[in-house]
Homo-oligomer: A and B are copies of this chain.
Amino acid sequence: MAEFSLIDRIRARTAARADIALGIGDDAALLQPQAGLQLVVTADTLNSGVHFPPETPAADIGWKTLAVNLSDLAAMGAQPAWCTLALSLPDAQEDWVDGFADGFFALADAHGIVLIGGDTTRGPLSLSVTAMGQVTPGTALRRDAAQIGDDIWVSGTLGDAAIALRAWQGGTLDVRGPAEDAQVEHLRLRLARPTPRVALGRALVGLAHAAVDVSDGLLADLGHICARSGVGARIDPACLPLSAAARARVGDTHARDAALRGGDDYELCFTAPPAKRAAIAGLGERLVLHLTRIGEVVRGQGVVADGSESGTTGYEHFL
């Protein structure tokens, strides 16, 4: 299959948006940003064997490739709009490309984000997305806006993806799924099909001060908020939201450790003034999403969990 038919195959799956004057097929796309809004731009790459097990199904890879980028837009409170995709493939198999597109466009269509360009090249399997969204100027959820006295919140449950990854490494979880055991399948999906919290991010505009998505691990990502805001954080590990599947699989102690240090959950961690507690609780009910208060922003620096200064910085590539 030639590069151009590969592109055609992907282009045939793209939806329309009124603000796209020219989509895939020219030297570049032409877009009409909404007057007065700021542009929000992020880029994330997934490499086979580094960011996902090599045997991961194509549809899951497609989903996750977009999900990790939508998660960054969510963490800014942005409304997703357009994206580009750089797809490096060792060979061009129609089945693989169609499967990839199934996952990618299922998530894209759900969030109204449209693929407007990209590149397909021959090479080791690697996927880079640049995602663009829009936000009213001055309202984005930045990492540098946490204030002393803010509550610290997280969405959903933490640690599931790390536990699933460890189970795969230990040979007790097949990423090709589905697993017969419902709890194992829950963990597998948390790793393979993370849910970007886009609606939450949008709704937090005006409620939250600072936000970050949990991709490298809670301690590391909350640490970014602390560093950029010039504050410290104190969290209570006993409050961390753990899934029933995580607790059943590895027990409370290990589940809590995975929640602190594990990455890849793509939940949002955000800070908000205590006066917003009722509004945030109401938001969680409206979105049918657990929002858990896990600590507070304090003077100082770094993240303190359980009273002891944490030196953990989560997962860094190249360490």
A residues lining the B interface (CB < 8 Å): 1-4, 6, 21-22, 25-33, 35-36, 38-47, 49-51, 72-73, 75-76, 78, 82, 84-86, 88, 91-92, 116-124, 126, 128, 130-133, 135, 137, 140, 142-144, 211-213, 228, 316-319
Instruction: Assess whether B122 is in contact with A76, with CB atoms less than 8 Å apart.
Output: no
Other CB < 8 Å A-B pairs besides A31-B41, A43-B117, A43-B119, 15 of them? A3-B316, A21-B38, A25-B143, A27-B73, A27-B143, A28-B40, A30-B76, A41-B82, A43-B85, A44-B86, A45-B86, A45-B119, A47-B124, A124-B124, A124-B126
Instruction: Assess whether B318 is in contact with A6, with CB atoms less than 8 Å apart.
Output: yes
Chain copies in complex: 2
Closest to A5 in B: B318
Separation of A26 and B43 alpha carbons in the complex (Å): 11
Chain B residues with CB below 8 A from A26, complex form: 76, 142-144, 228
Chain B residues with CB below 8 A from A120, complex form: 317
Chain B residues with CB below 8 A from A319, complex form: 2-3
Closest to A116 in B: B41
* Contact A51 to B86, CB < 8 A, known contacts A26-B76, A41-B29: no
Chain B residues with CB below 8 A from A4, complex form: 316
Chain B residues with CB below 8 A from A122, complex form: 47, 50, 317-318
Closest to A317 in B: B3
Closest to A319 in B: B2
